[in-house]
Amino acid sequence: MRIIGLAAVLSLSLGAAAASETKVRIGYLTVDQPAPPVLSNLDPAPEDLGLAGAQLGIEDNATTGRFLNQTYTMDETRVPEGGDALAAARALLASSPFLVLDAPAATLTAVADLPEAEGALLFNASAPDSALRDADCRANLLHTIPSDAMRTDALAQFLVQRRWTDVALISGAHPRDTAFADALRASIAKFRLKLVGESDWVFDADMRRNASAEVPLFTQGFKEHDVLLLADEIGDFGRYVVYNTWLPRPVAGSEELVPQAWAPVVEQWGAAQLQSRFEELSGREMQPEDYAAWAAIRSIGEAVTRTGSAEAATLRDYIFSDAFELAGFKGSPLSFRGWNGQLRQPIPIVTDRAVVATAPLEGFHHQGNELDTLGRDAPETACTAFGG
Amino acid sequence: MLRLTAILALLASPAAADEIWITNEKDDSISVIDVTTLEVTRTIPTGERPRGITFSHDFSKVYICASDSDAVQVMDPVSGEIMHDLPSGEDPEQFVLHPDNRRLYIANEDDAITTVVDTETRRVIAQIDVGIEPEGMAVSPDGKIVITTSETTNMAHWIDTGTEAIFANTLVDSRPRHAEFVKEGSELWVSSEIGGTVTVFDVASQAEKAKIEFEITGVHEDRLQPVGFELTPDGKTAFVALGPANHVAVVNAETWEVEDYLLVGRRVWHMAFDRDHKRLFTTNGVSGDVTVIDVEKREPIKTIKVGRFPWGAALRPTEG
């Protein structure tokens, strides 16, 4: 028993953790964005999308922190459409240098450029825009949501592996759709697939009634193809295309077979535990935005655990060091790209019922980390803010 | 059912060879392997999602974590009948039986709790708050310390079995999965699946003493995910399952150097030795089989098909 007595003393000064309490305060900012009109009423977005993931991240951090005398609190602010997002960000940054954002790209860069954000650690947990990882990047802005390019590269790898090389594309008109279509085209070129035809979704009829009559004719014009890709990120028309195509072809992209940061069907690598913790907390299934917010909060927590510090500069250094690894329930350790602040991560390619594959797929090699076959790699990036 | 039991009893009754018991996580069953013939001789139904498995010290009872039944089942290994359930807390994943042959320390994966159950009174003695997703469980040979590792908190929690309270917490690399006291309890080894390492602690000081790393040409480092491991009784050689790398590493437990990598089935998870430690049986989750390794020659000698997602493994010696 003497051993145990000694141990009790030692445990108080465990590792890097300080004996005194480390308090970590994290801001969470939601900037409401107008929901575009869609044909179906089936899938209303949950009110707490993203936020619930952040709350779970705080709980997970707190459980670990309990053993290290580290506590976590989160201040949440929601800015309605047309509200002053910058003022809200300033207020949150006044009390903490850690800020997780669910906001559009323009707001993210504006917040990152605030004088109050200098030296802060901001996490983009919702905006997939490629530009944020390229020319519009900021050294104080990290990204836990994958870029469109990461998702479309994942899908392209799957198509290559299946030898479904000839693809056709239908794109919606919303800016999210056109951005995703751009990313699909870039991935098609990167992985040497062949785009045999493209159309814009132009219907103004109610497809809930007309899809079986209209879509076959609409897709009849495409040259022979293996797969039909859809860029319908707002979830407007895609569901009416499936099984209504002229040729019997699988549908992929925004609908049916979808590359996602996270999905309720992910269950391997201990993911079932994360899913059940999330469902217990929120009463619903975990979505990609929830996962990204969880990963942001957990990244802060992991860095605090390992360094025993709550200083933004110390945590940033640790997060960008080789030592940082986040166990993200996707089979590989997650880490941040030093050239643009993007969280590198596997991308599950899912249907509503199962994970069909997880990218990077076998055979897609990279000289450094195979996760970097997805999205903007160091030699390609136009981002210079990280000193690259 | 009666008739089936009678047949099972008959099959088991001859002074048979030792057995390796394998839990099949996705088949709700146990496959019993005859160590001499290397064949499956019995398949026994269990509760839902069986994972951890261990025998009482006299081998008269076998304890099974039936995770999705939220119970530890106690089975008569001769008849294969469930004798009773133990209260286990929710989602028991793995456990360890104390040297007193009485207290069972159970990791409740979904609840961030370690439950201590008295197997005689069938009562819960204590519940100890631990980190998120507790899994790895170990007990020191003198019975004074129990370890719970928590997968998402990335710690080994050191529990004083006198007070049933945590007296120390030590950080390890990401997703610790398995823990063992080795070398007469002077060292604690903890595997970290995502970190890709095995951390060696000095038990007296709880200080980190060494870290074992792995490298296989042609296998990406992210796939080198150490999970279960066992040491030879002389404490000189460790066998470490590397999960999706489909290999078992042979580690010199004195220099911490990896000496060999043995190709086994897919997603190799846990393992058990036979009685004289000549053969090692590994559970290969994805391929649904067990690889038999010749310990001295360090080579796989046979693959045995079992149920879906074999997880745990335990030796049942038989007299003869």
CB-closest option in A4, A333, A369 to B160: A4
Query: Do residues A125 and A174 share a domain?
Result: no
Measured in Å, how far apart are chain A's first and last C-alpha atoms?
55
Omega into B45 within 30° of 0, i.e. cis? no
Residue A344 is predicted with a pLDDT of 97
Mutate to test the interface with A, among B153, B213, B266, B311 (most CBs of A within 10 A): B153
- Segments of chain B scoring below 70 in pLDDT: 1-16, 320
**How close, in Å, is residue B133 to chain A by CA atoms?**
8
Please name the helix (run of DSSP H) or strand (run of DSSP E) that holds residue A298, with its range, or none: helix A288-307
Q: A329-360 burial, b for 16+ CB within 10 Å, e for fewer?
A: bbbbbbbbbebbbbbbbbbbbbeeeebbbbbb
Residue B16 is predicted with a pLDDT of 65
Query: Do residues A268 and A141 share a domain?
Result: yes
What is residue B18's DSSP assignment? P
**Residue A374's closest CA among A359, A363, A386, A387?**
A359
Mutate to test the interface with A, among B113, B163, B171, B311 (most CBs of A within 10 A): B171
Answer whether residue A72 is part of any domain: yes
Cβ distance B171 to A10 less than 8 Å, yes or no, reads no
Query: Do residues A129 and A68 share a domain?
Result: yes
Q: Is the ipTM of this complex over 0.85?
A: no
Cβ distance B155 to A67 less than 8 Å, yes or no, reads yes
CA-CA distance, B36 to B106, in Å (whole number)? 32
Cβ distance A14 to B171 less than 8 Å, yes or no, reads yes
Are B33 and B78 spatial neighbours (Cβ–Cβ below 8 Å)? no
Taking each continuous run of H as one helix and of E as one strand, the counts in chain B are 1, 28
Answer whether residue A369 is part of any domain: no
Residue A213 is predicted with a pLDDT of 82
CA-CA distance, B157 to A319, in Å (whole number)? 25
- List Cα–Cα distances, B147 to A202, B137, B208, B289, in angstroms: 63, 5, 15, 29
Are B122 and B104 spatial neighbours (Cβ–Cβ below 8 Å)? no
Q: A86-120 burial, b for 16+ CB within 10 Å, e for fewer?
A: bebbeebbeebbbbbbbbbbebbbebbeeebbeeb
What is residue B223's DSSP assignment? G
Q: B39-62 burial, b for 16+ CB within 10 Å, e for fewer?
A: ebebbbebbebbbbbbbbeebebb
User: What is the domain extent for residue A161?
Assistant: 153-258
Query: Do residues A221 and A292 share a domain?
Result: no
Cβ distance B133 to A273 less than 8 Å, yes or no, reads yes
- Token pair in block for residue A287: 């979505």
Query: Do residues A123 and A267 share a domain?
Result: yes
Rg of chain B on CA atoms, in Å: 18
Pairing of the two strands A141-143 and A121-124: parallel
Instruction: Kindly identify which residue of chain B lies nearest to residue A60, measuring between CA atoms.
Output: B132
pTM of the model: 0.87
- Token pair in block for residue B270: 């846990």
Query: Do residues A71 and A184 share a domain?
Result: no
For B143, the 3-state DSSP assignment is coil
- List Cα–Cα distances, A319 to A113, A145, A171, A301, A337, in angstroms: 21, 16, 37, 11, 10
Residue B320 is predicted with a pLDDT of 53
> Residue A41: which CATH number?
3.40.50.2300
What string of DSSP letters covers B156-189? EEEEETTTTEEEEEEE-SSSEEEEEEETTTTEEE
Cβ distance B160 to A331 less than 8 Å, yes or no, reads no
Query: Do residues A87 and A126 share a domain?
Result: yes
Instruction: Kindly identify which residue of chain B lies nearest to residue A66, measuring between CA atoms.
Output: B131
Query: Do residues A46 and A133 share a domain?
Result: yes
Are A244 and A272 spatial neighbours (Cβ–Cβ below 8 Å)? no
CB-closest option in B110, B151, B206 to A10: B206
CA angle B252, B212, B222 (to 5 degrees): 125
Answer whether residue A374 is part of any domain: no
Query: Do residues A175 and A212 share a domain?
Result: yes
Quote the distance between the C-alpha of residue B267 and its chain's center: 15
Residue A40 is predicted with a pLDDT of 76
Answer whether residue A37 is part of any domain: yes
Query: Do residues A92 and A73 share a domain?
Result: yes
For A174, other C-beta atoms within 10 Å of its C-beta total 18
Contacting B with CB below 8 Å, chain A residues are 1, 3-4, 6-8, 10-11, 14-15, 60, 63-64, 66-68, 270, 273, 276-277, 305-306, 325-327, 331-333, 369-371
Strand ranges in B57-144 using DSSP code E only, listed in sequence order? 62-66, 71-75, 82-87, 92-97, 103-108, 113-118, 123-129, 134-139
Cβ distance B153 to A327 less than 8 Å, yes or no, reads no
Query: Do residues A130 and A191 share a domain?
Result: no
- List Cα–Cα distances, A66 to A23, A54, B156, B160, in angstroms: 11, 18, 14, 18
**How close, in Å, is residue A375 to chain B by CA atoms?**
19
Contacting A with CB below 8 Å, chain B residues are 109-110, 112, 129, 131-133, 144-145, 151-155, 157-158, 160, 162, 166-171, 173-175, 194-196, 203-206, 220, 222, 244
Distant-in-sequence contacts of B249-253, Cβ < 8 A, 24+ apart? B249/B214, B250/B298, B251/B198, B251/B212, B253/B182, B253/B183
For B278, other C-beta atoms within 10 Å of its C-beta total 13
Residue with tokens 């090389």: A165
Answer whether residue A288 is part of any domain: yes
Contacts of B192 in chain A (CB under 8 A): none
Pairing of the two strands B165-171 and B176-182: unpaired
- Token pair in block for residue A16: 């890097």
Are B209 and B188 spatial neighbours (Cβ–Cβ below 8 Å)? no
For B273, the 3-state DSSP assignment is strand
Answer whether residue A354 is part of any domain: no
**How close, in Å, is residue A290 to chain B by CA atoms?**
17
Cβ distance B151 to A327 less than 8 Å, yes or no, reads yes
**How close, in Å, is residue A65 to chain B by CA atoms?**
9
**Residue A326's closest CA among A57, A137, A124?**
A57
**Residue B227's closest CA among B167, B174, B170, B292?**
B174
Answer whether residue A375 is part of any domain: no
Residue A19 is predicted with a pLDDT of 57
Answer whether residue A359 is part of any domain: no
Cβ distance A325 to B170 less than 8 Å, yes or no, reads no
Give the pLDDT of chain A (388 residues) as one tens digit per residue: 334 433 433 344 444 444 589 999 999 999 999 888 787 777 778 999 999 999 999 999 999 999 999 999 999 999 999 999 999 999 999 999 999 999 999 999 999 999 999 999 999 999 999 999 999 999 999 999 999 999 999 999 999 999 999 999 999 999 999 999 999 999 999 999 999 999 999 877 677 778 788 889 999 999 999 999 999 999 999 999 999 999 999 999 999 999 999 999 999 888 999 999 999 999 999 999 999 999 999 999 999 999 999 999 999 999 999 999 999 999 899 999 999 999 999 999 999 999 999 999 988 988 889 999 999 999 999 999 998 5
Contacts of B226 in chain A (CB under 8 A): none
Please name the helix (run of DSSP H) or strand (run of DSSP E) that holds residue B190, with its range, or none: strand B187-192
Q: What is the dihedral of CA B304, B73, B128, A24, to 10 degrees?
A: 50
Query: Do residues A129 and A166 share a domain?
Result: no
Query: Which of A215, A237, A258 is the last residue in one of the domains?
Result: A258
Query: Which of A211, A237, A258 is the last residue in one of the domains?
Result: A258
CA-CA distance, A386 to A382, in Å (whole number)? 11
Domain count, chain A: 2
Q: Where would I find the H helices in chain B?
A: 2-12
Rg of chain A on CA atoms, in Å: 22
Are B295 and B279 spatial neighbours (Cβ–Cβ below 8 Å)? yes
